[in-house]
Amino acid sequence: MVTVVGGAVSDHIYRVDHVPSAGPEAHGRFEAHPGGKGLNRAVAAARLGLRSRLISAVGDDDAGGRILAYLRAERVNTEHVRVVPGVPSAITMVVVNPTGVSTTIGCREDGIVPDVEHIGDGLAAADVVLLTFEQPSWVIDRVLAAVRSLRPAPVLIVHAAPPIEAPHDLLRHLDRIDYLIGAPWELGDLAGTRDADFDSSVAPWLRARGVRSVCAVEHLACRVRSDTVNLDLPANPAARQGDSPGGGAAFGAALAYRLLLTERPATGPDYYWATAAMASTSVEGPVPVGMPTSATIDAVVARYPASR
């Protein structure tokens, strides 16, 4: 069981020939569909054949109904997706340039939060908990405190995105995180030094406070720093673009899959497989639809085996 705590939104995707600024308009196309960092990861885990549960919240509008229907069609357990009456579902605007690099704008009412009073019920029986930072910091704090109390303890994977306003409130939980994932600047934000060097400052600072493995994921490549793994993996040659909006979701779900498959801490081949998962995502169409199966990732690894 992989339990994901994060957002479930309506993604409004704009695929443009260039990211617009003041001046001439950009040209592109528009599509809307269910998305969100939490939803994408829950769907990615289900695509890999794992039992997947999402803890999130939607409004009681048509968009919320479409999100729930989509999750159920993808075999994601929605028992702990709260439907909030009288509040519209969250919307995320995503602008994607021709290389796959995206810019996002989030629109969410304050009331769109999970049922924190029963958060322990949603986390129960989880072998892996995968947490994003889409919820308010007080909700994230409650989730992390609940995870700390679980016995047996699940593996905790945290994706430090999107940035939160008061990351220092969460620092007391760093020693509970098994795998911390994020772009270098997102990890730097959590460490209070956004522009600091990943190797000399950010990763050592996070590890000194108890994070067991720090994974910098950017442009479909990853760098891992832990007591046992010191690894720099470029983007897999199968990647068709310089980036993918679903790359981070695919990486986190693939890492969870490998941890459950091997029943041991992640090693080089596991990170290589997760990096191949990023390369296997589609840059066209809805983000969750582009999440790969294990067979797809295996085929990429077979075609481009890791160098020794």
Q: pLDDT value at position 109? A: 82
Using 50, 70 and 90 to split pLDDT, how confident is the model at 195?
Answer: confident
Is residue 142 over pLDDT 80? yes
- What gap in Å lies between CA 83 and CA 115, rounded to an integer? 9
CB within 8 A of 23, min separation 6: which ones? none
- What gap in Å lies between CA 212 and CA 175, rounded to an integer? 8
Judge if pTM exceeds 0.85: yes
- Dihedral in degrees, nearest 10, Cα atoms 84, 149, 262, 259: 40
Phi, psi dihedral angles at 204 (to 5 degrees): -60, -40
Using 50, 70 and 90 to split pLDDT, how confident is the model at 99?
Answer: confident
- Please report the DSSP string for 149-209 in residue order: H-SSPPEEEEE--S--S-GGGGGGGGGG-SEEEE-HHHHHHHTT-TTS-IIIIIHHHHHHT
96-101 mean pLDDT: 76
Q: pLDDT value at position 308? A: 64
291 touches 251 (CB < 8 A): no
DSSP state for residue 239 in the 8-state scheme = -
In the block, residue with structure tokens 């730097």: 188
SS3 141: helix
Q: pLDDT value at position 55? A: 97
Q: Tell me: the pLDDT tens digits for 14-70?
A: 878 877 776 777 787 777 789 999 999 999 999 999 999 999 999 999 999 999 999
- What value does the mean pLDDT of the chain take? 91
Q: Tell me: the pLDDT tens digits for 204-254?
A: 999 999 999 999 999 999 999 999 999 999 999 998 878 888 999 999 999
Using 50, 70 and 90 to split pLDDT, how confident is the model at 128?
Answer: very high
Q: pLDDT value at position 2? A: 98
- What gap in Å lies between CA 75 and CA 256, rounded to an integer? 17
